[in-house]
Every structure is written in C-alpha cells, then in structure tokens.
Chain A
Amino acid sequence: MKHLNLLLLGTLSIVLLSSAGLSGCKKKIANPFPASNAVAGWQKASETRTFEPKNLWQYIDGDSEQYIQAGVVSTATSDYKYQGQLEAVVDVYTMGGPDGAQTILRRGQTKDAQSIPLGDEGLQYTQSVNFRKGPYLVRIVAYESSASTPQALLALAHGVEANL
C-alpha cells in the first residue's frame, strides 16, 4: 500500500510538473508565412520547407553551424513573388530564445543597415529585411533591386511579423 501511495504521488507530481511545463512553453506558431495576397502584391511561390538542426546543412551548408551554436530549434523557408516579378525568400529561424536571435541578427549587421521599428529589433538593407521577435529570427531577401523593393519587402516583413 505504501508503495502504491508513493507511485500515485510520483505520477501526480509528474502530471503537475508536465502541466506547469506546458503552460510555460512558448505557444507554437501556426504558420508565419502569409498566404498569397494576404500582403498586397505578394504571392507565396513555393511550399514551405522545414529543417531541423541536424539537416539544416542541406539548406545553408556550413552556415548552419553558426545557427546551431546560437541555439536554432527549427528553420522554415518559403519563396515569394511580388507582382509576378520580384522574387524573394523568407527564412524563419526559431531559436531557443531571444538571445540566439539577437546574436545572429547583430552578427550580420553592416554599416549600411537601417534600423526599423519591426518586432523587437529590425534592420533593413536595399534588398533585405532582417528582424527578430522573441525567439524568432526572420530574414527576407530579394533577388533583385528596384525602386519598389524596400517598401515591398517591408510590407511582407510586417505580414510575417503579425503571424509570430
């Protein structure tokens, strides 16, 4: 009987701890990628691909190492097209926490970067927008540059940010 009580107590403890742990977990995001036309002019042009740390190299080769060291948990990517012409790619890195996202964001920062009010911290370049929000690091890169590129990228970035 004593053993049974201990067993029940142990089971109850595990259940309670698990519940507490789950309630403390980050809410899993449904989908950070805006659907076609959810952001004016932008079409989602590919399926979303996801990578775990162990196979991230398939997507970004040796660059994966710095993300792994910074605590990446998963990576998702999708191609987009703006007004049928401008092609871009959206990468969403889910890090273990905000520190990891900040580390990567600042590591790549150059003097050309323009700070923008987006998420917890945002940087804009002529052909890219990078920002972090909580544990998420988002990189949006266009393959061409035109007068409309920065505004178009920024609009898409806001669309992603709203989903995080």
Chain B
Amino acid sequence: MKSRRDFLKVAATGAIVVGAENTFGLKGALDQQSEKEKARVVIARDPALHGSDGKLDEKRVGELLDRAIASYTGRKRPVDAWKYLVLKGGANDKVIGLKTNGLGGKGISTHAVLAYAIAERLQQAGVKPGNILIWDRNARDLQACGFTINTDPARVRCFGSDVSGFEDKVESWGASHARFSRILTRECAMVINLPILKDHSMSGVTFAMKNMYGVVERPQDLHAGGCNPGVADLNAFPIVRQKIKLTIGDAMTSVYEGGPGFRPEHLWQPNALIVGEDRVAIDHVAWGILEKKRAEVGLKSFEAAGRPPRYIATAADAAHALGVNDPQRIKIIEV
C-alpha cells in the first residue's frame, strides 16, 4: 500500500510516465520483466471530442475507442483486437455483457454511442448480435443513457435486471451479502464494464469497481463506511471477479463534485476513455484524475473532504487481491 505522498505524486501529473527502457544487460532484462508485470491502464484522449457547442462528436468516439483498444491489445486493426479480447475472455459463441451506468440520469451516464460502438466492433469480430447484451439495473437507467430496450435475440439485446430478476440465493463474501442479477449469473460468459467517471458523496470516487453496485439487488446494503469494504467485497465475489474481464471506462464527461447525480455546475469533460483489466489500478488512476481536477478548481482533496476512496486500498489488500494500487506497479499509457 502506498503512502498519500506517493499517491499525490501520481495525482499531480494525472499519470505515471514510464521512462525509456534500458534494453541492455541484466538490469534491462529485469526492467523489461518488471514492465510486463505492471498493470496496464490506457488513457486515450481526444481534446476535440466535444465541440465548441459542448456537444459530443459521436464519430470521434469510435475513433477514440479504436485508438484505446489498439494501444491496449497491441493490435492495430479493430477486428483483430476485438477477436483477441473475445478469445481471451473465453466468450466465443457466448453472451458478452456490456454493463453501463445510467443511475446519474441523462446528463451523467455511460454514453450510448460508446456501448453501440463496442457492440458494432464485437459483431465485426464475429459475435452474433443476440450474444451482445447491454444491461444495467433497470429500464429507466438504460433509457437514461439513450438505449432502447430490446429482448429480441436477433438483434443486440438491451434490458435490465428488472427483466431478468435476481438469484434467490443470498451469497456472502466477508461481511457482505448480495443477491446477483441473473444477467450476470446466467446470461453472460464475459462482461465488459462501462462505468462513467464521477465524484461520489460517500465513496469519493465511483468508476470501475463501484459500477458493480448495479449488479446486485440491494446495493444500499453496501454503502456503509464510505462503501468500504462494500466495493472491495462485492468485486471479490467469484462471479464478479471472474466474469468482469475488461473495463472501458467512460471519462468523456464527468462530475468532480456533487456526484453521483447530475450536477451541471460541476460538470467537466475529460474527453477520455480509460481501458484496462486491473480494476483496482483503473480506479486508482481515476482517483488521481478526479483529484487533479478538484485541485485545479480549488476544491478540497477527497481526504480533506472526508471521503477518500479507501475501498481502493482494501481491494488491493491480500484478502481481496483484486489488483494493484501501487503507482510503481501501474503502467499508464497515454495515447
């Protein structure tokens, strides 16, 4: 676990810049090995993503997605990159879920254009339309994102846990208990997590791991203590740990204060996508981005505001072992 000082070094830049690699000798080999062991987090940005009128240029979203995924997978052609991700996720001929977040309402929800761009690329990579399922808590959340509910298996499906229902059995991990959405337990072989970056009045930051609150019946039971250890525990349940294979975080629009609801007075456009498999590393990086923005506008740090996202360190501890929050073990690739 890193100190606050270490963290702030990262937050100050919003990124860790990895230096030039020494490719000679033992040190070079060790460095290379060390680099490979780092959790990779890609931050793809496009400053022109929002036009001067403040509207999202939807065409550019697809291009940004392709750039992010090419960088993350090392495959230039999107079709190759997505075939690789599907294969790696063990989801050939199986259902792939795209878990969005529409809780904040229309102004601060996962952008539908992002989910549709992913669905389109999955189909280009050979995934049947009906094997793609865009989902969230309920129809209202999905409609807030701009989706149309569809249960027809001939097309990309889109519905919430209000349609599927929840498992009868209450599962336990640590002190946390939950009944999971049948979309997660029965429909999906692999889930791509599509959270939206937000401030959160209790947990400080809500992004990759916190988005899993939308897969259980009673998320309110996990909010105590600033959502710590609730967020970490929830992600440690085997069904969540195993099925969430990739996060493509929507940081095209964000709220740096007043979240998780829509607060136009605190709205901000980072114009970025954040991609990775290590959910802890992603949240740690997201924390740094929000912290930097808050400092820019003169707001207190999350620590000073009394709501540091402690669940990130908890998720990295030996009991949860969900990923890394040590900046030295995170490689941020900015493209």
Residue A120 is within 8 A (CB to CB) of chain B in the complex:
no
Which residues of chain A come closer than 8 Å to B223, judged between CB atoms?
Answer: 57, 62, 65
Asked if A57 and B220 make an inter-chain contact with CB atoms under 8 angstroms apart, the answer reads yes
Residue B308 is within 8 A (CB to CB) of chain A in the complex:
no
> What distance in Å separates the Cβ of A66 from its nearest Cβ neighbour in chain B?
6
Residue B98 is within 8 A (CB to CB) of chain A in the complex:
no
Give the residues from 200 to 216 in chain B that come closer than 8 angstroms, CB to CB, to chain A: 200-203, 206, 213
Asked if B203 and A62 make an inter-chain contact with CB atoms under 8 angstroms apart, the answer reads yes
Give the residues from 241 to 281 in chain B that come closer than 8 angstroms, CB to CB, to chain A: 257-266
Question: How many A-B residue contacts, CB cutoff 8 Å?
Answer: 59
Residue A108 is within 8 A (CB to CB) of chain B in the complex:
yes
Q: Which of A2-10, A29-37, A141-149 contacts B (4 or more CB under 8 A)?
A: A141-149
Asked if B219 and A141 make an inter-chain contact with CB atoms under 8 angstroms apart, the answer reads no
Checking B201, B262, B265 against A126 with a beta-carbon cut-off of 8 angstroms, the contacting residue is B265
- How many interface residues does A have (CB within 8 Å)? 23
- How many interface residues does B have (CB within 8 Å)? 25
Asked if B203 and A128 make an inter-chain contact with CB atoms under 8 angstroms apart, the answer reads no
> What distance in Å separates the Cβ of A125 from its nearest Cβ neighbour in chain B?
4
Checking B106, B261, B264 against A63 with a beta-carbon cut-off of 8 angstroms, the contacting residue is B261
Checking B54, B213, B257, B261 against A60 with a beta-carbon cut-off of 8 angstroms, the contacting residue is B261
Which residues of chain B come closer than 8 Å to A57, judged between CB atoms?
Answer: 219-220, 223
Asked if B107 and A143 make an inter-chain contact with CB atoms under 8 angstroms apart, the answer reads yes
Asked if B264 and A65 make an inter-chain contact with CB atoms under 8 angstroms apart, the answer reads no
Give the residues from 120 to 161 in chain A that come closer than 8 angstroms, CB to CB, to chain B: 125-128, 141-145
Interface of B is mostly: loop
Give the residues from 73 to 125 in chain B that come closer than 8 angstroms, CB to CB, to chain A: 103, 105-107
Distance of A145 Cα from B203 Cα, bound (Å): 29
Distance of A127 Cα from B219 Cα, bound (Å): 30
> What distance in Å separates the Cβ of B14 from its nearest Cβ neighbour in chain A?
22
Most chain B CB neighbours (cut-off 10 Å) among A62, A113, A125: A62
Asked if A60 and B265 make an inter-chain contact with CB atoms under 8 angstroms apart, the answer reads no
Interface residues of A (CB under 8 A from B): 57, 60-66, 87, 89, 108, 110, 112-113, 125-128, 141-145
Interface residues of B (CB under 8 A from A): 54, 103, 105-107, 200-203, 206, 213, 219-220, 223, 227, 257-266
Q: Which 5 A-B pairs have the closest CB atoms?
A: A127-B264, A57-B220, A62-B202, A125-B265, A143-B107
